Amino acid sequence: MRKGAEIMNESNTKPTLLLVDDEARITRSLKMLFRNEFNVLTTDNGHDAIEIARTQPVAVVISDQRMPIMAGVDVLRGIREVSPNTMRLLLTGYADLAAVIGSVNEGEIFRFLQKPWDAEQIRADVRAAAQVAELSFAAAARRNSGQVLDDAVQPLSRPGILLLDQDPVAYELVKRATPQGNPLYWARHLDEAMELLSAHAIGVLVADVLDGQASHVGAIKALKKSHPQLVTIVLTQLRDYELLVELINQGQVFRFHPKPGHVGTFVKNMQSALDYHNILQTRPEARQRHAVAKSDKPLLAGLSDRVLGYFRRFGVNN
């Protein structure tokens, strides 16, 4: 292992937190913040980070995005491949739209963190990630040992796909990507989408963030709280960095796809979303990997009484 990797000699009873950043002052600061709660490993090299995650249980990894050897998105993608139960967080000090999109589409991250960080918030995010990782590693161990999970449920054989968008071009794109046998529902407005969600077993939601004058941001966030097994693809032309970060942290969006985008890529995104919905259905502990961060904005502001009533039936009141 390269000399850029450092292992702190801490108790093995603590969950392991891996910090990846080429700036020593950043890893020192984060190490000071977490050393009492975690066994902290640090490296300035993405290749080393992937090797560490491959060879030992790492509960949580925080990677910087802009590094000379390997970008953070690539680090997290590599860690996802060798240690899928490790919870992944991306840290950046730049308004990098490509990093935001890549962190979801390639790294499937839990949180997108920004420099300078708020100490209490980053502590809360990492603690939550570590708790989920513990459940994920334990469930994987039970599966590997041949034990049957008592709370496992049978997946829906053909979950529905719901498009929330007025654009006929978007409908044609989603229609082309919908596998034969999976029902496709098209809602032009949010009220109509809620009715379809109430009436049908929907596994994947495809939605534009801004549809005409209507914003679906709050609804996307609220739906992840009310339907944790729902997998969301955002199909949009939106270039708003801050809003996309909100949708990652507070909406746990599965994929961002540019409008109109490449058909072949969208077909792959749709199949990945359906596959992941199956995982969420059959492995209840996996839903915790998509616990949403608390929103500092009202989720349900400006929605109709009918939509508000729908969310309140599921206990979403903010």
What are the backbone angles phi and psi of residue 38, rounded to the nearest 5°? -135, 155
As a CATH number, domain 5-144 is: 3.40.50.2300
Residue 35: pLDDT over 70: yes
The b/e string for 265-295 (b: 16+ C-beta within 10 A; e otherwise) is: ebeebbebbbebbbebbebbbbbbbbebbeb
Any idea of the CA torsion for 111, 113, 118, 124, to the nearest 10 degrees?
20
Maximum distance among all alpha carbons in the chain? 60
What is the reported pLDDT for 9? 38
What is the reported pLDDT for 10? 43
What are the backbone angles phi and psi of residue 98, rounded to the nearest 5°? -65, -35
237-247: pLDDT as tens digits: 877 888 888 89
What is the reported pLDDT for 1? 46
69-73, 132-136, 147-151, 185-189: the lowest-pLDDT one: 147-151
Residue 279: pLDDT over 80: yes
Indicate left, alpha or beta for 24 from its phi (over 0: left) and psi (-120 to 50: alpha): alpha
- Report the chain's terminal Cα–Cα distance, integer Å: 48
Name the band, by pLDDT with cuts 50, 70 and 90, for residue 260. confident
Residues in contact with 31: Cβ distance below 8 Å, sequence separation at least 6, in sequence order: 8, 19, 40, 42
Please tell me if the domain spanning 5-144 has the same topology as the one spanning 160-313: yes
Q: What is the mean pLDDT of the chain?
A: 88
3-state DSSP: the chain helix, strand, coil percent, rounded to 5? Answer: 45, 20, 35
What is the reported pLDDT for 207? 95
101-149: pLDDT as tens digits: 888 888 889 999 999 999 999 999 999 999 999 999 988 888 887 765 5
Domains of the chain by residue range: 5-144, 160-313
Q: Of the candidates 225, 305, 224, 251, which has an alpha carbon nearest to the alpha carbon of residue 236? A: 251
Query: Between 56 and 308, where is the model more confident?
Result: 56
As a CATH number, domain 160-313 is: 3.40.50.2300
Q: Of the candidates 189, 191, 185, which has an alpha carbon nearest to the alpha carbon of residue 307? A: 191
